[in-house]
A and B are shown apart, each in its own frame.
Chain A
Amino acid sequence: MGWIEYIKRWRKAGKFQRKVIGMVIDWTVFLYLVIPVIIALAVIDYQLWQSPPAWTSFIPVHLFGLVFFYIAQFFSIRTYVEQADELFVIQKGDYYQSLLQLGKYFSVLKAMLAASILIFYFYPVFKTGYQLSIFTVLLILFYVVVWSLFRKLAARWFSLRGIIWRRRVFSVFEFMLYGIGMYGLFHHQLVFLSMMLPIFGAVVFFLKKERQPLRYFHAEAERERSEKWKWAVFLMVQSGEYEGIKKTRKYPLFNKQSQGIFSKRTPEHVLAEMYWKWHFRKGRHLKFYLYFVLFSFYALAVLPEKVQFFVLAFILFAGFKIQDGIWKSFITHPFTRNIGPINETSLVKGKRLAFLVLWLIPCGMLMIWALFV
């Protein structure tokens, strides 16, 4: 009857994760990020069906297959074992074992689903670009599923046994082995089989019932705890609610003497300079902004000319709003609030100067690229 409990815990965990995501994703995130991404992905897929991308002529299919190694990993093994199970659940060995097994079987389903969505999305590339048969595509799907499962199950096996460094070294070899197998799939079947079969055997071994599951109960509960809180911690760190564990740096990178950027030290120059320094050293906002610029560049590259103007207007507006939000978090920082009132003219001039570099130049370059290239 372990599966009833497993489904109950699965639902409870789903509710928890939805609440976590609901804490940060509101309609503005949907409007600015999720909906444009979905639309762009749909348009890109539609275009892939219409005409094969030019890069398929010079990027070999086995190199393209390498990207699935990482992006098919978007799932985790969840057994929903909790520390409190120490009281009752682990006294019933079979019941506990069934929770673990269901966790593994669910991960097989999740791996198949994730890889299928991915392969289906890129199916036009395989079909029209590389002109592969449906059988070959299914073989790629199977290969990707087996590797995804192997990586996740092996990671769990290593983590329960507290093997960290050997696991890291092993993960480097994993990619190499995957690459060799992917190459073999198209060029040398014997190489493919010699890579595929041991990995498949390992997956079967990992999926088998564990002999002494209780020995790793605490490690399993700890692993589950970190899986449960993974997204919450990620979102809290991103939103600044929680600092996370980080290395304490003594000096800023490449500037051990607090060197200024401008020789002129007027309030507007200092304000803009401090904003840039804060922005760049913080990294988090910059990373997000760079993703935005990169995504905008891709969107302008793939979208039809008819809609480019509207997309460009949206990019300029969204870029400004993003920078404005980052600026606000800088200027409303308790340190600035504590130093007392700042001259309004300096504030406006400083903001203008700061935005010139971080908004106008990158967005302007995007605009020039869209209009003339």
Chain B
Amino acid sequence: MNFFMDRLTIDLQKAGYSIEDPVIENISFSVKAGELVGLIGENGAGKSTTIKAILGQLPWMEGSVSVHTKGSVYGYVPERPVFYEELTVWEHIEYCGVMREIPNWEGQAKELVKTFRVEHYIHQLPHSLSKGTQQKIMIILALLPSPELLIVDEPFIGLDPRATKLLLRIIEQEREKGTGILMCTHVLDTAEKLCDKFILLSKGTMYTSGSLLDLQKKCQLPDGSLLDCFDYLIDEDPNYGLD
């Protein structure tokens, strides 16, 4: 496996919901095989819009998004679990497996269901489950096609400590397998431990990027945490918050 190969390349000049009102601009980065990239930024910085642009769900976009995986397959875990309220968990899994034409989806699904300990819930309707269990199902659905690229939006929200630990283990396993992971998160202390690289978004544009070491150098905070660097970079900009 080529661990230096890009799984995702983004070069967005402008994107948004209409041509008159671009929400994000000048965002370009890549996610390599086996790399975990953290997309961080304040509320309203444009993280979710960037993810929507990657998924092709934005009505207007100038620039390019390239997914370099087998069959352009990726796994996506949205911030809020999204289900058909009327279909059971297993029906969702089957729908996803069959429609994406995943070979041996059933065996893979059963294994993931066992790993995430949700065997008792698979024939239930999703809205009867807790937020954390719903999030686990979303992760199962994202991992079902064994994707080479995983896009995860706020994965830790609503998960109990054991599920968080399990998710961290799975992220690590996926990374070892060569999966490129783009993770959008607010949980900076976890991101600091996990991510190889960070993309800091601010006011809809890419503010800076690099590893923790790069950020520490930029901020002249050799032992600073990701939060310290984040605070420093945001506070350093005299125009920050002024529109």
Binding site for B on A (CB under 8 A): 248-252, 255-258, 260, 265-267, 270-271, 274, 277-278, 281-282, 333-343, 346
Contacts and interface: CB of A to CB of B under 8 A. Distances in A.
Contacts of B94: 258, 260, 265, 270
Interface residues of B, number: 31
Contacts of A252: 86-88, 125
Given A258-B123, A271-B95, A335-B82, 10 more contacts: A250-B124, A250-B128, A252-B87, A252-B88, A257-B123, A258-B91, A277-B86, A334-B78, A338-B82, A339-B100
Interface in B37-59: 55, 57
Contacts of A271: 95, 99
B125 A270 contact: no
Contacts of A250: 124-125, 128
Interface of B: 55, 57, 72-74, 76, 78, 82-88, 90-92, 94-96, 98-101, 122-125, 127-128, 141
Nearest to B88: A258
Contacts of B98: 265-267, 270
Contacts, number: 82
A267 B101 contact: yes
A187 to B, nearest CB: 50
A270 B90 CA distance: 12
A258 B122 contact: yes
Given A277-B91, A278-B87, A249 B100 contact: no
A342 B57 contact: no
Contact of A335 (B55, B92, B124): B92
Contacts of A346: 99
Contacts of A282: 85-86
B74 A278 contact: no
A251 B124 CA distance: 5
B108 to A, nearest CB: 15
B95 A274 contact: yes
A270 B97 CA distance: 10
Contacts of A265: 94, 98
B99 A267 contact: yes
Contacts of B90: 258
A335 B101 contact: no
A346 B92 CA distance: 17
A75 B83 CA distance: 39
Contacts of B57: 337
A249 B78 contact: no
Looking at chain A's contact residues, the main secondary structure is loop
The listed residue with most B CB atoms (<10 A of its CB), out of A250, A258, A270, A281, is A258
A246 to B, nearest CB: 10
Contact of A270 (B88, B99, B123, B127): B99
A340 B122 contact: no
A338 B151 CA distance: 11
Contacts of B83: 335
Contact of B128 (A249, A255, A277): A249
A339 B86 contact: no
B84 A333 contact: yes
Nearest to A249: B125
Contact of A338 (B55, B101, B128): B55
Nearest to A281: B86
A343 B88 contact: no
A277 B87 CA distance: 7
Contact of B141 (A270, A277, A339): A339
Contacts of A266: 98
A274 B87 contact: yes
Contacts of B87: 252, 274, 277-278, 281
A278 B88 contact: no
What 8 A-B pairs have minimum CB-CB distances, sorted nearest first?
A: A281-B86, A258-B90, A270-B98, A250-B128, A334-B82, A258-B88, A278-B86, A258-B123
Contacts of B86: 252, 277-278, 281-282
Contact of A339 (B72, B91, B96, B125): B96
A345 B188 CA distance: 44
A263 to B, nearest CB: 13
Contact of B78 (A274, A338, A340, A341): A338
A266 B31 CA distance: 34
The listed residue with most A CB atoms (<10 A of its CB), out of B72, B83, B94, is B94
A271 B84 CA distance: 13
Given A252-B86, A267-B101, A340 B91 contact: no
A17 to B, nearest CB: 30
A338 B90 CA distance: 17
B199 to A, nearest CB: 22
B198 to A, nearest CB: 25
A341 B57 CA distance: 12
A277 B90 CA distance: 13
29 contacts: A250-B124, A250-B125, A251-B88, A251-B125, A252-B87, A256-B123, A258-B123, A265-B94, A266-B98, A267-B101, A270-B98, A270-B99, A271-B95, A274-B87, A274-B95, A277-B87, A277-B91, A278-B86, A278-B87, A282-B86, A335-B83, A335-B84, A335-B92, A337-B55, A337-B57, A338-B78, A339-B99, A340-B73, A340-B76
Contacts of B84: 274, 278, 333, 335
A151 B235 CA distance: 67
A337 B122 CA distance: 22
B127 A248 contact: yes
